[in-house]
Amino acid sequence: MMNLRQLTAVLVLSSILLAPLSAEAVLRIDITQGNVDPLPIAIQTFVEDGTDGLGKRLAEVITSNLERSGLFMAIDPSAFIQKPQDMRVQPRFADWRLIDAQALISGSIQRLPDGRLKIEFRLWDVFSEQQMTGLLYRTGQPNWRKVAHMISDAVYERLTGETGYFDTRIVYVAESGSKRDRIKRLAIMDQDGENVRFLTDGSNLVLTPRFSPTEQAITYLSYFHGNPRVYLMNIDTMELERLGDFPGMTFAPRFSPDGTRVIMSLAIDGNSDIYTMDLPTRRIERLTQHPAIDTSASYSPDGERVVFNSDRGGTQQLYVMATNGSSPKRISFGKGRYATPVWSPRGDLIAFTKMLRGRFFIGVMRPDGTGERTLTESFLDEGPTWAPNGRVIMFFRQRPQRDDGSGGETRLWSVDLTGYNERRMVTPMDASDPAWSPLLQ
Amino acid sequence: MGFAVIASLAGHGFIIALAYIGLPVLFTPEPVADIPINVEIVTIADETAAPSEATPDLEPPDLEPPESKPEPIPIVEKLKTKPKPPKETTSARANHVSPNKRPETQLKVATIDRQPDRELAPPPEYKPKAEVTDDESLPEPQVKPNSTERLEFDADRIAALLDKEDRKAPQMSQNESPDSVPDETLRTRISNFADKLTFTELDAIRAQIQRCWSVPAGAREGQDLVVTIRIFVNRDGTLKRSPEILDSVGMENPFYRIMAESAVRAVRKCEPLRVPSTNYEDWREIELTFNPKEMLEG
């Protein structure tokens, strides 16, 4: 031991003596800390040609998208020095550096002779004075908002390296009426809360809508003759179909990653187990066979495994098993009960609802159960759903109801994977059970 | 008989005495060897910049940002009129009828080249533009609350500061044993010492760039991404030419490219750097290694 120390001392000494000989001319500095504030970005009004103010509104939609992500800080346009019209060729970068913009979006919108719109944009690196990306879209007038989302996605992708999630929709349960006589309808909206429309009329209770990963279809639970049943709806054609006719009740449906199967719970005589239905052949396969309650199954994005919750261990916990139902393994070991697991589209995490001491949490853990952390906490947070890029989680939050009957509002919220940037979605009425669509094609 | 008793007593006494004196020795911990303590011999300038760089920017943590939209639209109105400003109603209708058609059939997307229809002039030579990035005239970039913590004065941090093998630096702060300090690290520190730049001067450059560096958010591979760029500095702190990205092969990885771009942007944003007035040879060429690992973990 001592010898080792002495040896070390000798080494240290000798290296001190020898070091100057090997000193290099290049100075090396490590930068291990930086600014994690949102990136300052300037979004210039799009130069327009016969489009009645659409240029400004395009910029506004993009601004609101990027700001909502929490990763960007849009600079107040009143601080802009260069006018939009002067930017047709190239921005005067010095002007933009002066107001501290690191990135700049400029663009134009023009009405073509055939009535369609031609929209183009460029993203500039203000400090390197280079164009980072530029795209051109031709589209009909009604789609200008979609193009704004596509531009937002392109910018987000180029600046963060992640795919965007702005050109997406969210389906949820819109709730109205008194607490006792609740009307629940399926509603769908754009990711920014615009374009709300209802998919069902509210005559039957609906719950747990889930998006197909491959087409514009959703699966959800609705009551049929007083029994909960799983339905499949094409949201373009509004075609509706009841999945299977079982002796018991079916609930908690979710699509497989390739969209060809629906995994769901089937309860017979009070015992619920997990089943899948192959959509083309309608073949049913039973995955779990256990006297405990198994439910809320969700596929991993590679389709190899399934996470579900079960009380087979005494309390409600999360389990992962192979897609054929073999080798279930418990993954949640923290205090409290765990429910509604959802596998991230990236595959690296599982989001869940956790109940502990009368409080609700939305959290994430790795598929092997390690690295658990909670992102939100409140009186009632439930039903996480992932943005297609796996960076943002949406859920619903209910406020406590007071004795006088007030309170109890239920709204959709989103939170970043970091646990920051908690934001409430604007919905016209109470909303619960959100489901995020994949990126639209 | 008498002899046997005495012999037995003496023998037992001896054994007991031996046990009494000898046994504790077995349990005495080996004397603790002096642990050599690494002393950084650095020249400290008259004014130490490090702590004062960090502190003025302290801001109360603002963890919960205000909500994006204060939902100004009256609920009733929204319900009645379909949530659309009047101008959009047509578009909304159209979407209702055939939402799926809009992406496929009506939307053609063409990619403009990186250098599109209009030929963009190459960026002009970077000449001193003191009026743009002069520190006094511009609002200081703010240091995030959690990062200020790390800028606090702390001996381990100083060691890390002078350490080029930054992967090993955090290790050292956690694990005080000098045995674990790799040789190479020591040598590097000493070579930095040999550069004769004072700690203050070195730290000043480092602090400037850290404040100018917007760490690319959400790079999920960020923890493994380390980008090194080389900059060539004039005596007045401006850049002689564009920063060089070492290992530019990695640029095919979008995350790497974004990291590298952010590094170049940080240096550009800091231009002109506040540089020491002496020892120009020591800092005319600087290799900056950007490594967000510590931050992302913290």
Q: What is the ipTM of this complex?
A: 0.72
What's the confidence (pLDDT) of residue B188?
47
What's the whole-number mean pLDDT along residues B249-274? 85
CB proximity B252 to A under 8 Å: no
* pLDDT value, residue B50: 40
Q: Which of residues 98-127 of A touch B (CB under 8 A)?
A: 98, 100, 102, 116, 120, 122, 125, 127
Ranges of beta strands (E only) in A226-358 are 227-234, 240-242, 249-255, 261-268, 271-278, 284-286, 294-299, 305-310, 317-322, 329-330, 337-343, 350-356
- Please judge whether B94 and A52 are an interchain contact, meaning their C-beta atoms are less than 8 angstroms apart: no
Query: Judged by CB atoms within 8 Å, which residues 270-329 of A form the interface with B?
Result: none
DSSP summary character for residue B49: -
Tell if the CB–CB gap between B108 and A16 is shorter than 8 Å. no
> For tokens 């998208």, what's the residue?
A65
Q: Do B109 and A136 touch (CB under 8 A)?
A: yes
Q: Tokens standing for B118?
A: 């209009």
In chain B, the residue whose alpha carbon lies closest to the alpha carbon of A72 is B217
- Give kind and range of the element (H or E) at residue A327: none
Q: Which domain holds residue A69?
A: 39-160
Q: Are residues A90 and A209 in the same domain?
A: no
In three-state form (DSSP H/G/I as H, E/B as E, the rest C), the secondary structure along A172-210 is EEEEECCCCCCEEEEEEEECCCCCCEECCCCCCCEEEEE
Residues of A in contact with B195 (CB under 8 A): 23, 27
Per-residue model confidence (pLDDT) at position A247: 74
Percent of residues, chain B, with pLDDT higher than 90: 6
Q: CB distance A33–B151 less than 8 Å?
A: yes
Per-residue pLDDT of B121-170, as tens digits, reads 333 333 333 332 333 333 333 333 333 333 334 444 444 444 444 433 33
**A173 and A206 Cβ atoms separated by less than 8 Å:** yes
Contact assignment for B75 to A428 by CB distance below 8 Å:
yes
Verify whether the Cβ–Cβ distance B33 to A146 is below 8 Å: no
* A15 in any annotated domain: no
Is A25 inside a domain boundary?
no
Interface contact B112-A134, CB threshold 8 A? yes
3 state DSSP class of A224: strand
Whole-angstrom Cα distance, residue A306 to residue A338? 15
- Most A-contacting residue of B53, B68, B89, B148 (CB-CB within 10 A), to test interface: B68
Residue A8 is assigned to a structural domain of this protein: no
Give a yes or no: residue A10 inside a domain: no
User: A125 and A177 share a domain?
Assistant: no
Whether B164 sits inside 8 A of A97 (CB atoms) is no
Instruction: Count the Cβ atoms, other than its own, within 10 Å of residue A175.
Output: 21
Who among A31, A116, A216 is closest to B206 (CB)? A31
Domain boundary pick from A143, A160, A177? A160
Q: Kind and range of the H or E element at A280?
A: none
- Interface probe for B, chosen from A32, A102, A170 (most Cβ of B below 10 Å), is A32
Taking a C-beta distance cutoff of 8 angstroms, is the pair A40, A75 a contact?
Answer: yes
Instruction: Answer whether residue A22 is part of any domain.
Output: no
Q: Confirm whether A32 is domain-assigned.
A: no
Give me the residue from A16, A128, A137 closest to B109, CB to CB: A137
Q: Are residues A250 and A288 in the same domain?
A: yes
Q: Which residues of A touch B179 (CB under 8 A)?
A: 4-5, 8
Claim to verify: residue A100 and residue A231 sit in the same structural domain: no
* Pair of tokens at residue A106: 């400029």
Q: CB A90: neighbour CB atoms within 10 A?
A: 16
Residue finishing a domain among A139, A160, A181: A160
Residue A213 banded pLDDT, cuts 50, 70, 90: confident
Minimum Cα–Cα distance from B129: chain A residue: A94
Look at residue B63 and tell me whether its pLDDT is greater than 50. no
CB contacts of A15 in chain B (<8 Å) are 183, 186-187, 190
Nearest by CB to residue A32, choosing from B188, B265, B295, is B295
Nearest to A263 by CA among A327, A210, A338, A200: A210
Rounded Cα distance, A261 and A212, in Å:
10
Whether B178 and A421 lie within 8 Å, measured CB to CB: no
Task: Answer whether A71 touches B (CB < 8 Å).
Answer: yes
Which residue of A lies nearest to B165 if distances are taken between CA atoms? A30
What is the least distance, in Å, from the CA of A22 to any CA of chain B?
7
Q: Please name the residues between 17 and 36 in chain A that touch chain B, using a CB distance below 8 Å.
A: 18-20, 22-36
Res. A339 pLDDT band, cuts 50 70 90: very high
Interchain contact, A31 vs B290, CB within 8 Å: yes
What burial letters (b/e) apply to A384-419, b meaning 16+ CB within 10 Å?
A: bbbbbbbbbbbbbbbeeeeeeeeeeebbbbbbbbeb
**Which of these three, A160, A190, A224, is where a domain ends?**
A160
Residues A81 and A204 in one domain: no
Q: Give pLDDT, residue B153.
A: 41
In B, which residues are within 8 Å of A127 by CB distance? Answer: 264-265, 268-269
Asked whether residue B183 carries a pLDDT value surpassing 90, the answer given is no
Q: Do A131 and B120 touch (CB under 8 A)?
A: yes
* Chain B interface includes A143 (CB < 8 A): yes
Nearest-CA neighbor of A283 among A256, A306, A299, A260?
Answer: A260
Q: Min CA distance, A66 vs chain B (Å)?
A: 11
- Please indicate, yes or no, if residue A385 is contained in any of the structural domains: yes
A342 plus A245 within the same structural domain: yes
Contact check, Cβ <8 Å, B286/A29: yes
Inter-chain CB pairs, A–B, below 8 Å:
294
- What does DSSP assign to residue B106? I
Based on the domain organization, do A202 and A153 belong to the same domain?
no
Q: What is the CATH number of the domain that holds A146?
A: 3.40.50.10070
The per-residue pLDDT of chain A, averaged, comes to: 87
Determine which of A189-203, A328-342, B8-22, B73-87 has the lowest per-residue pLDDT on average: B73-87
- pLDDT for B35-48, tens place per residue? 666 655 555 555 44
The shortest C-alpha distance from B79 to chain A (Å) reads: 7
Does pLDDT of A400 surpass 80? yes
CB-based contact (8 Å) between B212 and chain A?
yes
Tokens of A32: 């291990």
Q: What is the 3-state secondary structure (H, E, C) of B81-103?
A: HCCCCHHHHHHHHHHHHCCCHHH
**Do A315 and A183 fall within a single domain?**
yes
Look at residue A330 and give its three-state secondary structure.
strand
3-state secondary structure A87-99: HCCCCCHHHHHHC
Chain B, 143-182: which have a CB under 8 Å from a chain A CB? 143-144, 146-147, 150-151, 160-161, 163-164, 166, 169, 178-179
Instruction: Give dist(CA A408, CA A401) in Å, integer.
Output: 4
- Interstrand relation of A227-234 and A240-242 (parallel, antiparallel or unpaired): antiparallel
Q: Is B281 on the interface with A (CB under 8 A)?
A: yes
Token readout for A97 is 């550096």
Task: Tell me the C-alpha to C-alpha distance, in Å, between residue A225 and each of A180, A211, A230, B45, B177.
Answer: 20, 25, 13, 83, 72
The verdict on a CB contact (< 8 Å) between B216 and A160 is yes
Lowest mean pLDDT among A21-35, A38-52, A112-126: A21-35
CB crowding A349-372: b at 16 or more within 10 Å, else e: bbbbbbbeeeebbbbbbebebeeb
- A147/A240 same-domain check: no
pLDDT value for A205: 87
A246-302 pLDDT, tens per residue? 777 888 899 999 989 999 898 887 789 999 999 888 888 889 988 889 999 999 999
Judgement on whether residues A323 and A352 belong to the same structural domain of the protein: yes
Q: What is the rounded CA–CA span in Å between residue A41 and residue A99?
A: 10
- How many domains does one find in chain A? 2
Residue B36, min C-alpha distance to chain A (Å): 8
* pLDDT score, position A67: 93
* For residue B76, pLDDT beyond 90: no
A114 and A48 in a common domain: yes
Average pLDDT over residues B174-189: 44
**Does residue A185 sit at the B interface (CB-CB below 8 Å)?**
no
Which residue in the set B187, B218, B291 is minimally distant from A19, CB to CB?
Answer: B187
Instruction: State whether A136 and B266 contact (CB < 8 Å).
Output: no
User: Residue A219 is part of a domain; what is its CATH number?
Assistant: 2.120.10.30
Name the phi and psi angles at A413, rounded to 5. -130, 155
* Same domain as A194, residue A248: yes
The answer to whether residue B73 neighbours chain A at the CB level (below 8 Å) is yes
Asked if A231 and A241 count as a contact pair (C-beta separation under 8 A), the reply is: yes
In a domain, A17, yes or no: no
